[in-house]
């Protein structure tokens, strides 16, 4: 919120909100009309939506207020939207990943990636994108998962810094 350069520029905060919170809303409002008009399966389901939050929604670090707020918003909207779309047979869930080996993480030196992985209690490594995909597949297949945010973080709890 405050650095040696002065107060946080609102443009920086706004960009984070637009990408991380408005993004999922724009996607959902774009796909839901088609999903709701589709033929339901034998159980009445017309599909599932899986959004991405972050553990920062729960344990944001110093300097992450905007990021935490945006990801917290994704968590907060999951249940109300799941309840709204239940009438159409559409489920909505969110995954809150911890530290994963994403393209951004690949930009870090190997030593830094190893250090981050060691912060994860078990397994003490960065998450693999295939593990994330496996959870998405499970959520889509398991009809009782609706309105939930699932942490996927190896028991990681972020420190303030």
Catalytic residues: 67
Angle (deg, nearest 10), helices 65-85 and 23-37: 10
Peptide bond before residue 123 is cis, with ω within 30 degrees of 0 = yes
Instruction: Report residue 10 as tokens.
Output: 């609102």
Order of all β-strands in the sheet with 47-52: 47-52, 90-97, 149-152
Distance between CA atoms of residues 80 and 57, nearest Å: 17
Distance between CA atoms of residues 30 and 51, nearest Å: 14
């Amino acid at each position: 919120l405050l650095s040696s350069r002065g107060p946080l520029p609102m443009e920086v905060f706004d960009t984070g909100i637009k990408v991380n919170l408005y993004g999922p809303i724009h996607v959902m409002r774009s796909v839901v009309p088609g999903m709701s008009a589709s033929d339901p399966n034998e159980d009445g389901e017309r599909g599932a939506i899986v959004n991405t939050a972050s553990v920062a929604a729960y344990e944001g670090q110093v300097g992450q207020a905007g990021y935490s707020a945006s990801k917290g918003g994704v968590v907060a909207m999951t249940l109300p939207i799941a309840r709204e779309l239940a009438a159409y047979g559409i489920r909505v869930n969110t995954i809150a990943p911890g530290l994963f080996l994403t393209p951004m993480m690949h930009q870090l030196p190997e030593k830094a990636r190893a250090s981050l992985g060691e912060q994860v209690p078990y397994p003490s490594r960065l998450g693999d994108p295939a593990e994330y995909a496996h959870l998405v597949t499970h959520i889509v297949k398991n009809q009782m998962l609706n309105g939930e945010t699932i942490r996927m973080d190896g028991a990681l709890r972020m420190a303030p810094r």
